[in-house]
Structure 1
Amino acid sequence: MNNNETIVVIGAGQAGFQVTASLRQSGFKGRLVIIGDESNIPYQRPPLSKAYLKHQADETSIQLRPAEFYSENDIKLVCGDTVEHINRKLKTVLTKGGRSFNYDKLVLATGTRPRELTIEGSNLQGVHSLRSFLHAANLRDDISSNQNIVIIGGGFIGLEVAACAAGLGKNVTVLEYSSRLMERAVSPVSSEFFKSYQQSIGVNVVTGARITKLTGSERVQQVHLENGETIDCDLVLVGVGALPNIELAQAAGLDCDNGILVDEFAVTSDPDILSAGDCTNHPNQYAGGRFRLESVQNAIDQAKVVASTLLGQRVAYHIAPWFWSDQGEIKLQTVGLPIGTDQYVVRGDLEQRKFSVFHYRQGKLIAVESINSAGDHMVARKLITAGISPIPEKVSALDVELKSLLAS
């Protein structure tokens, strides 16, 4: 594309920011517009469930770049306004605030929203979700003035907040529907390890929990379970997953299915509209088909692919997915996707809280989760990316240096 064209990015999160930053870094001189529905300038979301809740980060420190970055790089940043309509024929977008922007190319980086509870009492005061800075600010204030916290959902967000709240001296209960924590993301070994760790810092963990309703006068006071048990609480955090924001794309007639469908170059069913980040459903060789990822890594790397495609440099998106989660003193790092695992082996020492779990499917290494083992994680990323599958016996043998297996 030429430097007289206009690129409009809808969504001012990690992916939307990265698209514009990469375009400018690559020398694009055309007009760039980012439109975000939050009043904040683009910021990092991971600290919201960790450092921010512990008052170790603030609104400024989590910004991806300071405000002057956008003016210095001639990026028009529109905050606090929501795009309500895309006119593909006229190539315009219209916002709730009545503004209209023309585009030559459009990028959808609309992200996700928290999945909501649909049970009785889910609209009571004191029932929180966590996605945005405003969510986090409200949650932090509420945690500071309340003692008994129930977290519905034993995934990454729920467990990160649980560890933070326990560290602040709160009484915390985690209720997980499945039989184990983080069931879709980690092995049974790691699920049990994190359950034991959370319990060791004072968190009450209940798996197989069936919640029927929340009750209270105006503010939530009790969580009711199917088995008849009730749990007293002052505050509830709902962390039961996220839904992709695809309504705008659907209304514009773009192909969607659990996300905005894109090809390996991040192009949608309209060649002038691209998409990146949590909202996309893309071909993923590590999943063996289409997949929707929710991670910082995916947002950044797919956004870079968007920028390359816009600049005429068609670089396919085939990057091994990786992720991390900090829960108190424990850092979990994962690479690959543990889909269809039929064997896994452990390397390291669970008692020392330092180990890795290697997932195999039909003899092929497909994923690795590392706990307090950054060195293992870095080697694992190289193994997965290169398609190297060392035999499980060598992986689990501590007298075999892991990086030596890169030559397998």
Structure 2
Amino acid sequence: MSERDSNSSETTNTLGTVVVGGGLSAAHCVHALREGGYTLPITLIASENEVPYERPPLSKELLQGKKSESELAPFPASWYAEANIDLRLSVEAESIDVSGQNVILSDSSTVGYQHLVLATGCRSRLGGPESKMPGWDLPGVLSLRSLEDSKNLRERLVAGKHLVIVGSGWIGMEVAASALSAGIEVTVLTPGQIPLATAMGSEFGSHVAQLHTNEGVKFQFGSAVSGMSIDARGGLLVETATGGVQADLVLLAIGAVPNTELAVAAGLSVGSGVLVDQQLRSSDKNILAIGDVAEAYNTRLGRSLRVEHWDNAIRQGKLAAATILGRSESYDWLPYFFTDQFDLGMEYVGDRAADDEAVVRGDMLKGEFIIFWLRTGVITAAMNVNIWDVNDHLRDMIGTEVAVERLQDSSNDLFAL
């Protein structure tokens, strides 16, 4: 196995696997390769100056000071050296030479590959699809995607300040809960009438809205934000069609954009993400894509989808390794995610559609319940809220037909359904 100086422009003689991206899927891909007996060179290209880390705590435990930075890494920095992983931090992959099977990096070096894995993730959306929101770069206007973003936000969460959150998705709601616990006044601006309604439906969204309202979060529904500016007092003014909202800090939590530029420039097929098959291979047989950036064909659901969640990142990292190792595994699992907000903890599994029927089991007012979603009588998704050790069973129930009355009746043993 040959090695080369990372500053050299020469390619590695023995080609192996190059992984572009420093997130969770990348970490689990290289780890699974070595655990699976892969002996060829592995190079991991990470644009941040951090070893790969988990992102869910950025809006929760890390922001609240309940977790340290070192606890975010699935594998310690020492493991990469021990496993002979060429870990290159603070380096960008600038282009792919598909015909030559080389990746050209921002430090002027080039690394050759037998297999290339794109784990480039997403970036925060800062405005419309082709433009950034006016005022996005003003001091005090923040987004949350990276460890550095979370640390920056945490340093600014000083008791008595007013944080305006633009957007009421998962990141917005989790940061609202974390900030309020730090003594921050929180206002959420959203163009809709119910937070999380698009993702989870009105039943759960209304429950979350009431929970946050009871804790002291203020909502301004029907408030589409047009931009931010500096007001007369030197603070921030968030501009909406119905007037301005003063703030000390603004968090833009209006979604994420997959980083597909590298794939597009290389001529790969791209939809909402990099299009890959059930084994995560792209339109180029030597290139795979995983995690948030991958629009992958799911054999269980019979369609392609792009999933931006922790569980999927881990599983796809391992699946990419299996594909490179020549195994016949495929993308056959259901989407899963979780959240924690105030005293609410939930897990979701399945593939809910907007018009699926929602069936509630338990008392939402008491905060302990399960929601099932059904399509023509068949369970498509389920979510347990403050009821634990049931999610594996809920996963097994997906795809089965159960009468609504039996689902709703808590006197029926859940594990007998």
Whether these two folds match at TM > 0.5 is yes
Query: How many Å apart are 1:369 and its aligned residue?
Result: 1.8
SS in 2 for 1:60: helix
| 1:152-163 to 2 correspondences below 5 Å | 152-163=166-177
What's 2:134 paired with?
120
Give the counterpart of 2:236 among 221, 227, 235.
Answer: 221
SS in 2 for 1:351: helix
What's 1:278 paired with?
292
Which stretch of the first structure deviates more once superposed, 103-112 or 334-343? 334-343
User: Quick check: 1:21 aligned with 2:40?
Assistant: no
User: Quick check: 1:59 aligned with 2:69?
Assistant: yes
What's 2:410 paired with?
398
1:300-355 per-residue CA deviation (whole Å, 9 max, x = no partner) reads 11122111111111211010111001112111211112114332210111121111
SS in 2 for 1:104: strand
SS in 2 for 1:278: helix
Determine if contact 2:379/2:400 at 8 Å carries over to the other structure: yes
SS in 2 for 1:55: coil
What's 1:327 paired with?
341
TM-score of the superposed pair, with normalisation by structure 2: 0.92
5+ residue gaps, structure 1: none
Measure, in 2, the Cα distance between the counterparts of 1:360 and 1:321: 16
SS in 1 for 2:48: coil
Measure, in 2, the Cα distance between the counterparts of 1:238 and 1:370: 29
What's 1:177 paired with?
191
Measure, in 2, the Cα distance between the counterparts of 1:377 and 1:175: 32
| 1:28-177 to 2 correspondences below 5 Å | 28-117=38-127, 118-144=132-158, 147-177=161-191
Query: How many Å apart are 1:171 and its aligned residue?
Result: 0.5
1:155-196 per-residue CA deviation (whole Å, 9 max, x = no partner) reads 110000000111111100011122211122212111111000
Amino acid at match of 1:225: T
Measure, in 2, the Cα distance between the counterparts of 1:281 and 1:136: 27
Determine if contact 2:291/2:316 at 8 Å carries over to the other structure: yes
Measure, in 2, the Cα distance between the counterparts of 1:233 and 1:73: 48
Which stretch of the first structure deviates more once superposed, 265-274 or 304-313? 304-313
Measure, in 1, the Cα distance between the counterparts of 2:94 and 2:19: 14
Measure, in 1, the Cα distance between the counterparts of 2:135 and 2:93: 31
Determine if contact 2:91/2:105 at 8 Å carries over to the other structure: yes
Amino acid at match of 2:97: N
Determine if contact 1:35/1:82 at 8 Å carries over to the other structure: yes
Measure, in 2, the Cα distance between the counterparts of 1:285 and 1:225: 44
Give the counterpart of 1:382 among 380, 384, 396.
Answer: 396
Query: How many Å apart are 1:116 and its aligned residue?
Result: 0.5
Determine if contact 2:23/2:53 at 8 Å carries over to the other structure: yes
Measure, in 2, the Cα distance between the counterparts of 1:287 and 1:227: 43
1:177-219 per-residue CA deviation (whole Å, 9 max, x = no partner) reads 2221112221211111100000111100222212223121596
Instruction: Number of aligned residue pairs: give it.
Output: 399
What's 2:9 paired with?
none
User: Quick check: 1:187 aligned with 2:201?
Assistant: yes
Measure, in 2, the Cα distance between the counterparts of 1:220 and 1:94: 43
User: Quick check: 1:367 aligned with 2:367?
Assistant: no
Measure, in 1, the Cα distance between the counterparts of 2:262 and 2:406: 50
Determine if contact 1:153/1:174 at 8 Å carries over to the other structure: yes
Structure 2 CA distance for partners of 1:217 and 1:232, relative to 1, 3 Å: closer
Determine if contact 1:340/1:361 at 8 Å carries over to the other structure: no
Measure, in 2, the Cα distance between the counterparts of 1:62 and 1:358: 32
| 1:246-257 to 2 correspondences below 5 Å | 246-257=260-271
What's 2:11 paired with?
none
Structure 2 CA distance for partners of 1:112 and 1:302, relative to 1, 3 Å: same
Amino acid at match of 2:221: T
Measure, in 2, the Cα distance between the counterparts of 1:294 and 1:306: 17
What's 2:253 paired with?
239
1:18-40 per-residue CA deviation (whole Å, 9 max, x = no partner) reads 11111111111111111000000
5+ residue gaps, structure 2: 1-13
Query: How many Å apart are 1:144 and its aligned residue?
Result: 2.7
Query: How many Å apart are 1:41 and its aligned residue?
Result: 0.5
TM-score of the superposed pair, with normalisation by structure 1: 0.94
Amino acid at match of 2:177: A
